[in-house]
Amino acid sequence: MGKVIWSPQPRQAAFLARPEWEALYGGAAGGGKSEALVMEALRQVHIPHYKGLILRKTYPQLGELVDKTLRYYPRAFPGAKYSESRHTWTFPSGARIVFGSMQYTDDREKYQGAAYDYIAFDELTHFTWEEYSYLFSRCRPNGPGTRCYIRATANPGGVGHGWVKERFITAAPPMTTIWTDLEFQGPEGYTLRGRRSRVFIPAKVTDNAKLLEYHPDYLLNLASLPEAQRRALLEGDWDSFSGQVFTEWRNDPAGYATGRGTHVIDPFPIPASWSLWRGFDWGYARPFSVGWYAVDPDRRLYRIRELYGCTGAPNVGVKWDPARVAREIRRIESEDPNLRGRRIVGVADPAIFASDGGESVAALMARQQVHWERGDHQRLPGKMRVHDRLAFDEEGRPMLYVFSTCRHFIRTLPALVYSQTDVEDVDTQGEDHIYDELRYVCMADPMPPRPRRTAIPASGPLERAADPARFYRRY
């Protein structure tokens, strides 16, 4: 018997034992996640046609993982060779484990045509949903007798925080299998049905007794971080993470009826005198976003309705042409009782006026009687306007409310994170289309229904007409 090279700690063992197709090992930093991920890759290396793929977002970040494998693999499998130029381990059986990165979404093409039995993502929240799900198609056997599956680790925070949290953390309690039914319609009319499973295994730093034994100060390092980061990295808390842009955001059902201490509220009928606005961010392969807003006499903005062109998979667009988007806008505006028969001012991403050869998106929509003004797309001033509107006053009331029916806004706005390259700005790789459309409306500085008529004598016949909206004020 040789000596033990590596043995899992209890929580790592729980991760390694999971039967699901996808498993995420996530939470605190230093929990032993990456270590478990690279060791799992060895499970099938005795099979000659086995291929594993271990991914990090950027190539330089892979160094840490390669070091782990250099430490363990040759000892576990004497004769295993690492090729630095091909970033590939080759085992005596012929099996291979490859390291890869996906700095740009187009890097997906590097993996086109390849097949891997094991695909591992380290730091999954650095990836977008498109990048992650693309590799599902690459998870298939190279020969008989292998198991094909996907594993990942993550800390809270990063551009993928929102979709990772939704897919693994809020979908079910930890350690519980989540099932998705899948259906495939074949061209000849047959239907293929199946189920796929996934699971979330939480990681705590206190799970990693080895680390605390070697570096007893590590806990103190984490404990001294700023609050949000500390809760994310020490406690593995997915609700608080460093990098969130709109930390003011509150969605508190206890305030839905009163509008206090929350941005989300119950819908209500919009008074006829309030002005109405519509914001637009165009997208085809990515989602487009249309938001309808009402402005009350105090200039408060209410997002009352939305049309979001998303397939259901995060950040994937429905690929409608501009005329179809415009027709859908017209349908909604002719049916929604808050919008029907009303004057609505549209502001859009100025890019829709660009025509490179053909007709612009704006022109194609104008043919369908949907008109837009050029929005102001200055990013940082727009972001400040959003912050200003989200701030609560002493009574706990913000200047922007969102109807509880606008579920895509409620899902995406709080998930926006800061860019790694432009630390002042929102990361544009996140699902930011609804936020962009909101910015155009905020920059247009929507005016209240009508000016107060202070110049008109209080006793005149016009008095009765003055500002009926005040009687409708809800809060």
Ligand X SMILES: Nc1ncnc2c1ncn2[C@@H]1O[C@H](COP(=O)(O)OP(=O)(O)O)[C@@H](O)[C@H]1O
Q: Which is nearer to ligand X, 147 or 210 (CB)?
A: 210
Residue 69 touches which member of ligand X, Mg ion, none, C-beta under 5-8 Å by kind: none
- State yes or no: residue 128 binds ligand X (CB under 6 A): no
- State yes or no: residue 154 binds ligand X (CB under 6 A): no
Closest residue by Cα to residue 287 from 307, 317, 329, 314: 317
Q: Which stretch binds ligand X (CB under 6 A): 29-37, 74-82, 190-198, 384-392?
A: 29-37
- State yes or no: residue 261 binds ligand X (CB under 6 A): no
Query: Which residue from 34, 69, 229, 262 is in contact with ligand X, where contact means CB under 6 A?
Result: 34
- State yes or no: residue 30 binds ligand X (CB under 6 A): yes
Both tokens of 275, joined, read: 């002005």
Binding site for Mg ion (CB under 5 A): 34
Rounded to the nearest whole angstrom, what is the least distance from the CB of residue 361 to ligand X in the complex?
Answer: 45
Residue 350 touches which member of Mg ion, ligand X, none, C-beta under 5-8 Å by kind: none
Q: Which amino acid is at 352?
A: I
Query: Which residue from 46, 75, 210, 473 is in contact with ligand X, where contact means CB under 6 A?
Result: 210
Query: Which residue from 31, 162, 317, 446 is in contact with ligand X, where contact means CB under 6 A?
Result: 31
- Residues 142/49, Cβ–Cβ less than 8 Å: yes
The count of chain residues that interact with ligand X, using the rule CB under 6 A, is 16
Region of 158 please: left (phi>0), alpha (psi -120 to 50) or beta: left
Residue 362 touches which member of Mg ion, ligand X, none, C-beta under 5-8 Å by kind: none
Query: Which residue from 33, 138, 231, 286 is in contact with ligand X, where contact means CB under 6 A?
Result: 33
- State yes or no: residue 375 binds ligand X (CB under 6 A): no
Contact flags string 155-194 toward ligand X, x per CB under 6 A: ----------------------------------------
Q: Which is nearer to ligand X, 132 or 280 (CB)?
A: 132
Residues 6+ apart with CB under 8 A from 303: 291, 292, 293, 400, 401, 402, 403, 406, 409, 438
d(CA 269, CA 298): 17
Question: Residue with the closest Cβ to Mg ion?
Answer: 34
Q: Which is nearer to ligand X, 18 or 263 (CB)?
A: 18
- State yes or no: residue 32 binds ligand X (CB under 6 A): yes
User: Mind spelling out the 3-state secondary structure of 124-181?
Assistant: HHHCCHHHHHHHHHHECCCCCCCCCEEEEEECCCCCCHHHHHHHHHCCCCCCCCEEEE
Q: Which is nearer to ligand X, 29 or 339 (CB)?
A: 29
Q: Which stretch binds ligand X (CB under 6 A): 8-16, 69-77, 220-228, 412-420?
A: 8-16
Both tokens of 130, joined, read: 């498109």
- State yes or no: residue 8 binds ligand X (CB under 6 A): yes
Q: Which is nearer to ligand X, 12 or 44 (CB)?
A: 12
| Core vs surface per residue 241-266: b (16+ CB within 10 A) or e | bbbbbbebbeeeeebbeebbebbbbe
Binding site for ligand X (CB under 6 A): 6, 8-9, 12, 29-35, 153, 203, 208, 210-211
